[in-house]
Amino acid sequence: MSLNMNYRIDNLQYCNWSREIFEINKEAGLNAVHVTIVYHEDYEEFLKNLKAWDKLFNENSDIIFLGKDYKDIDKAKSENKTAIFFGFQNCSPIEDNIQLIEKVHEHGCRFMQLTYNNQSLLATGCYERNDSGVTNFGREAIKEMNRVGIVIDMSHSAEKSTLDAIEISEKPIAITHANPSFWHSAIRNKSEKLLKILSESGGMLGLSLYPHHLKNNSECKLESFCEMVARTVEIMGIKNIGIGSDLCLKQPNSVVEWMRNGTWTKKKNYGEGNKNNPGFPKQPEWFLDARGFKNLHSGLQKFGFKEEEINDILGNNWYNFYKGIN
């Protein structure tokens, strides 16, 4: 990291992208954002999504550009822009073809989840009843992802599969958006055992601001979140924690329904919601959008974190992690 240089990085957003949201991220001081470009799409559908992003880059070239490595985070900071890094929340674009891993990397993919809640060809999702771990294809995919420079993301994966991925991968993996289960026992939140092993391997946890992952959901208090951060630091150390807000700004509820159901079921799956609360949950007042990073800073400061520690959590740790991707 550059001397006396501090970064602000949100390592997971899936918004209904527009100039307004890019300007919000810029106002928040974000130097980099890892954006979800795929949920259930196959390779051809992924290419269509790329075209939509090409249009966004062309129309907003004064404030965003496609990031490929950590040097682009420095470029974004120096030019007062936000570097956009592509990621997949599912392995569907590689289909059953390991050759496509290099292809999606060439198109800018830098993070790929091995699963999205369900069993995939690579590993087991966190909503499955039985976790058989990383598959044979998954082992080969991890090796290839290591080779080309795509981070293994296990945010939506089950515990054994995640532990397998940590063991198999020659590079540190990430859980880009989740919280510890000791604080809130959501299905997708992670155990202390897993988080300790993740940190010992050099991996990163992006703490989520998505209400279903928060204690008391939309009514979560900033003080409670900061207390959770302090306890997580005790488990993982200060250098292995960042932010992956999981913001889904301006998305219609039809999108969360598609995220949960894809094309794999005919009945409605409510995920971490329920029949009475099926849509996107309301963000807590102190993190309505990325400008909430300022509230995180003040909240952590009040809780007793040092300035250097706060800067680590809000961006510097992710910056250093990005340095090891390629």
Give the domain CATH number at 282: 3.20.20.140
End-to-end CA distance of the chain: 16
Residue 97 belongs to some domain of the structure? yes
**pLDDT, position 3:** 46
> How would you class 102 by CB atoms within 10 Å of its CB: exposed for 0-12, middle for 13-18, buried for 19 or more?
middle
> Within 10 A of 308 (CB to CB), how many other CB atoms are there?
10
Sign of CA dihedral 307, 309, 310, 314: positive
Domain ranges, residue 138: 9-322
In the chain, how many domains are there? Answer: 1
- 106 domain residue, yes or no: yes
Average pLDDT over residues 159-167: 98
Q: What is the value of pTM for the model shown?
A: 0.96
On whether residue 293 sits in a domain, the answer given is yes
Q: Is 116 part of any domain? A: yes
Q: Cite the DSSP H helix spans in 82-191.
A: 99-106, 136-148, 159-168
| Distance (Å, whole) CA 60 – CA 258 | 28
Percent of the chain with pLDDT over 70: 98
pLDDT in tens, 62-82: 999 999 999 999 999 999 999
Kindly state whether residue 2 falls inside one of the protein's structural domains: no
Q: What is the pLDDT of residues 165-220, one digit of tens each?
A: 999 999 999 999 999 999 999 999 999 999 999 999 999 999 999 999 999 999 99
| Cα distance between residue 194 and residue 176, in whole Å | 14
Residue 4 lies in a domain: no
Residue 2 confidence (pLDDT) above 70: no
> Is 1 a member of any domain?
no
Assess if residue 155 is contained within a domain. Answer: yes
Strands 64-66 and 109-113: unpaired
Cα 242–Cα 296–Cα 282 angle in degrees, nearest 5: 95
pLDDT at 30: 98
